[in-house]
Amino acid sequence: MNIKNSILSTAKKTFTLESAAISNLATLLNDDFASAVELIYQSKGRVIITGIGKSAIIANKIVATLNSTGTPAVFMHAADAIHGDLGLILQDDVVICISKSGNTPEIKVLVPLIKNAKNKMIAITGNVTSFLGQQADYVLNAYVEQEACPNNLAPTTSTTAQLVMGDALAVCLLELRGFSSTDFAKYHPGGALGKRLYMRVSDLSSMNQKPQVELDTNVKQVIVEISEKMLGVTAVVENGNIVGIITDGDLRRMLSKSDAFIHLTAKDIMSSNPKRIDENAMAVDAKDLMENNEISQLLVEHEGKYAGVVHIHDLIKEGII
């Protein structure tokens, strides 16, 4: 077997092992999972998530997912906790401890301290009979038969299982809270995902110039208008209403059909009934309309009147495409 085939074979084996382990998690779910979700949902405090080593990295990711979906969460490294960071935990906080073995020295020191403070504790562990599993109020079984590592040592499958368990917690809490796309946008205002949920057509079109001509505008002025406004298009307007559109493509087709075009006007070369969108529509709706009709610009309306142009480049610039 050549080296490329060997690499691909190892990758496929990793996918197979980890996907099988994730599928098996569904068979390990019990009432403790539902009770843990209800505990977090009803808590007046935050979720403190702790772990050590690779489990600490997974804890950080789960914290980020919970925070972005409406459940306040804080990461606390297990080693730092027993050297001062235990003060992060407040009276009403729920603590989640993540550990594959459930028997690491740091966990054995930390868990009694959490218990003494009377905070409820949830374990995510691959060993439900471990010290952590025995001490936790609720145990989420993240058992895996083997790591993807050929030596069965490096945390691979086990950390994937921990991550998926955290995702399941977050999604269940999201649904209980009725967390909507509007809420998601509120927590992600600066990212492309958030922009897809809150950015409106007017946010884009208002930054562009507003090319327009009338029905009897001569071709020379049409060309000037399209060139000056730099959007590759102009609306044809009558009494403020959109009656047509002229694009760069319309001009090229005109030139290919006739050598004598100086006498032509906008109404001779325009396309009638162009695609348009209201300025209050979501920018993502403009994206869908452009993609579905294979066009690069949309004319924008405000209360039925011409209001401007939104270009596909605007959507690309904002990360919506």
**Residue in 87, 72, 83 with CA at minimum distance from that of residue 173:** 72
The answer to whether 277 touches 289, Cβ cutoff 8 Å, is yes
The pLDDT value given to residue 146: 93
- ∠ CA(131), CA(134), CA(138), 5° rounding? 125
What are the pLDDT tens digits along the chain (321 aa)? 689 999 999 999 999 999 999 999 999 999 999 999 999 999 999 999 999 999 999 999 999 999 988 899 999 999 888 887 888 899 999 999 999 999 999 999 999 999 999 999 999 999 999 999 999 999 999 999 999 998 988 999 999 999 999 999 999 999 999 877 666 666 666 665 666 667 899 999 999 999 999 999 998 899 999 999 989 899 999 999 999 999 988 888 887 776 667 788 898 889 898 999 999 998 889 999 999 999 989 999 999 999 999 999 988 888 877
Length reported for the chain? 321
The pLDDT value given to residue 188: 61
**Which of the listed CATH numbers 3.90.1150.10, 3.40.50.10490, 3.40.50.1820, 3.40.50.300 matches domain 3-179?**
3.40.50.10490
User: Could you state, in order of their start, the residue ranges of all structural domains in the chain?
Assistant: 3-179, 198-317
The pLDDT value given to residue 195: 67
Binding site annotation covers 77? Answer: yes
Cα 151 to Cα 236: distance, rounded to the nearest angstrom: 70
The pLDDT value given to residue 158: 95
**Residue in 307, 309, 312 with CA at minimum distance from that of residue 234:** 309
Q: Just give the CATH number of 198-317.
A: 3.10.580.10
- b/e for 13-26, b at 16 or more Cβ within 10 A? ebeebbeebbeebe
Report which residue type is found at 97. Answer: C
Which residues contact residue 299 at a Cβ distance below 8 angstroms, ignoring those fewer than 6 apart? Answer: 233, 235, 242, 245, 274, 275, 276, 277, 306, 308, 309
Same fold flag, 3-179 and 198-317? no
The pLDDT value given to residue 269: 87
Per the structure block, which two tokens stand in for 301?
Answer: 């309306």
Any bridge partners for residue 310, and if so which? 298
